[in-house]
Amino acid sequence: MLENVKPMDIERRSFEIITELLGDRQPPPEIAPVVKRVIHTTADFDYAENLVFSPGAVERGMEALRAGCDIVTDTQMAKAGVNKTILARLGGEVHCFISDPDVAGEARDRGVTRAAVSMERAAALGKRCIFAIGNAPTALLALAELMDRGELDPALVIGVPVGFVNVVESKERILASAAPHIVARGRKGGSNVAAAICNALLYQIER
């Protein structure tokens, strides 16, 4: 039977259904808004188990955003999905260097991916950022190397690239790091997931 739900109530009802379907798999309150936002975006309940949070990751991400922290994404799709209105009110902006012509040229000359060069460009911003990676495992690997060299100190790493080549391995590098992180363990993820996690943090600040 079809539900008669007003347009303004669709999201609220969706989250009620998610809570009902989770049953005894309810996530802890401090991470529940992020987990449920990702499930709302993907309709994939596996994220109730495969999202891994370092201690205090959600609160640390929210603290950074309240302080005007910028967000760096590895795709234009993730950048487009982040709620830039709320972010701007907090004093932050979203960066994505993947499409910059000089990034493509440098990547070609060095024989590396544009995603890796993009992370180096982000490190050169000279500010602590939240990194939301939903597509390129090479971006996560570049972040890990930059952190190992002491050239980058992320406010939060959202590591949710999707795929098969080096995806699991790149996520494990972040999970083993000291950086605050939210990681989708395994092969699942995507730019929409990265944006959803960013928005879950932003919406909690503005609720």
Farthest-apart Cα atoms in the chain, separation: 59
88/77 Cα distance (integer angstroms): 18
* Residue-range domains of the chain with CATH: 50-206 (3.40.50.10230)
Per residue of the chain (207 residues), what is the pLDDT tens digit? 777 777 778 999 999 999 999 999 999 999 999 999 999 999 999 999 999 999 999 999 999 999 999 999 999 999 999 999 999 999 999 999 999 999 989 999 999 999 999 999 999 998 999 999 999 999 999 999 999 999 999 999 999 999 999 999 999 999 999 999 999 999 999 999 999 999 999 999 987
Read off the tokens for 181: 């992180």
In this structure, the strands spanning 181-184 and 51-53 are antiparallel
Contact 175, 182 (CB under 8 A): no
Catalytic residue among 14, 22, 40, 175: 40
pTM: 0.95
Quick one: pLDDT at residue 128? 93
Which pLDDT does position 207 carry in this prediction?
77
Q: How many CB atoms lie within 10 A of CB 75?
A: 25
- List, in sequence order, every residue forming a beta bridge with 135; answer none if it has no partner: none
Q: pLDDT at position 103, please?
A: 92
The CA-atom distances, in angstroms, between 106 and each of 114, 117, 157 are: 8, 7, 24
Q: What's the confidence (pLDDT) of residue 119?
A: 95
Catalytic annotation present for 95: no
